[in-house]
Amino acid sequence: MTSILNAAVAGDTRLFAIVGNPIAQARSPLVFNEIFQRMGLNAVLVPMQIPAASLATAIAGLKTIGNLDGIVVTVPHKISMTGLVDRLLPIAQKVGAINCMRRTESGEWIGEMYDGEGFTRGLSKQGHEPRGMSVFQAGAGGAGKALAHALASAGVKSLQLIDVDRAKQDALIAELAQAYPGLNVSAGSTEPEGVDMVVNATPCGMTGDDPLPFSIDRLDRRVLVADIIMKPERTQLLCHAEERGHRIHLGRHLLENQAEIVAEFFGLKPI
């Protein structure tokens, strides 16, 4: 919390929010407030816990705040927030979900999705080039859709998908098959095997008593195990993977590699 405590929050401070439910797991306030401080900006990002039933009312109220310039969106609102902006930018249109929105000079609110780009950038920077990989992914919600599209765009060879909501799972498979004719996309099983990377793009793992989102017991030890959960940094899935000798990829790599992109989306520049 150093960056927030050291910030001189005053009447002319520009506000940004991150909305979700739950919100205690969000690392975005730390990351973005460090970026604001590094840029020399008089701005602060504040976490806001908003349940789904109150989302439309809460966002309508936030839009009336004159010094609120942008909103970061986290679970479970990434899909439903698409109906609460005036216009979707290209990636959000394709994915059907957003993870950030901002007010334009004309007062219009626009939304975009950078989870997928943050994830694939993070993979590459950690030495895990996704091109040519066979991938298994759990999760077809807002973040899961973004990751699946980004992995397909990055040139993965095949993509197996599962979701507890079979309608979401099947809809995403059909969507990817149409958008990427060269991609081998299919439904997976909760015991994946024969892949190069497995990804948890579900909320499963945020609490210690969550079950594993899928089994890794049939996987070769060379398979990369990735999670997009930020807190805890090492989920039960990642701890189990480390115990088995797998390489792991942390959720913070996604956030760290999209934060600068989102800051640019917000129109922020060093002073």
Say how far apart CA 11 and CA 218 lie, in whole Å: 57
- Where, residue-wise, is CATH 3.40.50.720 in the chain? 116-254
Beta bridge partners of 187: 161
10-36: per-residue pLDDT in tens?
Answer: 999 999 999 999 999 899 999 999 999
Give the per-residue pLDDT at 269.
Answer: 83
Residues 29/4, Cβ–Cβ less than 8 Å: yes
Whether residue 101 has pLDDT greater than 90:
yes
Lowest-pLDDT range, 132-136, 163-167, 260-264? 260-264
- Location of each CATH 3.40.50.10860 domain in the chain: 2-113
pTM for this entry: 0.91
Give 172-196 pLDDT, tens digit per residue.
999 999 999 999 999 999 999 999 9
CA 25/CA 230 separation, integer angstroms: 7
78, 157, 168, 231: the catalytic one is 78
**Arch. (CATH architecture) of 116-254:** 3-Layer(aba) Sandwich (3.40)
- CATH 2.40.50.320 for the 2-113 domain, yes or no: no
Q: Name which residue leads in pLDDT, 109 or 271.
A: 109
Percent of the chain with pLDDT over 70: 97
Active site residue 78: yes
